[in-house]
Amino acid sequence: MKIGVVIRLAVLALLVAFILTPQSFAPLFAPLVREGTPPIYTQTTILSLTLSHLAIVGFATVLATLFAVGLAILVTRPFGEEFLPLSRAIANIGQTFPPVAVLALAVPMLGFGTGPTLVALFLYGLLPIFENALTGLTSLAPSVREASRGTGMTGWQRLSGVELPLALPVILAGIRLSAVISLSTATIGSTVAARTLGEVIIAGLVSGNTAFVLQGGLIVGALAVLIYDGFVGLEKFMARRMGGI
């Protein structure tokens, strides 16, 4: 077994152990806190915050994927080519405004909670997925397109049976980038009362508890690495399946 796989399995095992039984790690964090201060965040369970964090990121990423891929499909069809500049402008909105600014604008309309965070993550995740989907759909070899037309496939059949499957590894790379960005960005959602791991980090910053800050940061970092590696493995699998390598 490769050393990289062993390290990642060890990270996964430690992450699961800490999320399920955080108090068993209290001796490790105790030196980082003042006497009488709890070394482990207990106001809300780490497990519930982690699941809520992943749910928000997952939902926002799914919405961004559906919208961005749909937009890429639209502008790569003959009837939608003229909308490409507008589509790029829409996809760039999230990158133009910082997530904090989006939260500030969304709170008056949606109130505090998960809603503003979902809006910010959705907008912030559009660009990498859209650009990768656009690249994947426009970089197919002309011979492949001609062969699919020659077999009598309809436009929908070519899209669903040839273009999207061949573009999938590239699209997945965009989703990977979007998911990892959203995973870290979601922590700021706790500033508007969204239930994310940012709650642990903010509690640590407010109380001067370094252990809390480290706990929240380590969980988010470990999740980002594992999700990134998971997508990379999926991309390689799909590339092999589609004859990409």
Q: Give the CA distances from residue 49 to residues 46, 111, 143, 241, in Å, rounded to whole numbers and listed in that order.
A: 5, 20, 50, 37
Which tops the pLDDT comparison, 81 or 132? 132
Residue that is written with structure tokens 């990289």 in the block: 4
pTM of the model: 0.89
**Tens digit of pLDDT for each residue in 180-231?**
999 999 999 998 889 999 999 999 999 889 999 999 999 999 999 999 999 9
Domains for the chain: give ranges and CATH numbers: 48-241 (1.10.3720.10)
Mean pLDDT score, 98-112: 83
**Tens digit of pLDDT for each residue in 146-174?**
777 777 677 777 887 888 888 899 999 99
Mean pLDDT score, 50-71: 95
Burial of 117 (0-12, 13-18, 19+ CB in 10 A): buried
Indicate if the pLDDT at residue 24 is higher than 70. Answer: yes
pLDDT of residue 19: 95
Confidence of residue 84 (pLDDT cuts 50, 70, 90): confident
pLDDT of residue 128: 92
pLDDT of residue 245: 45
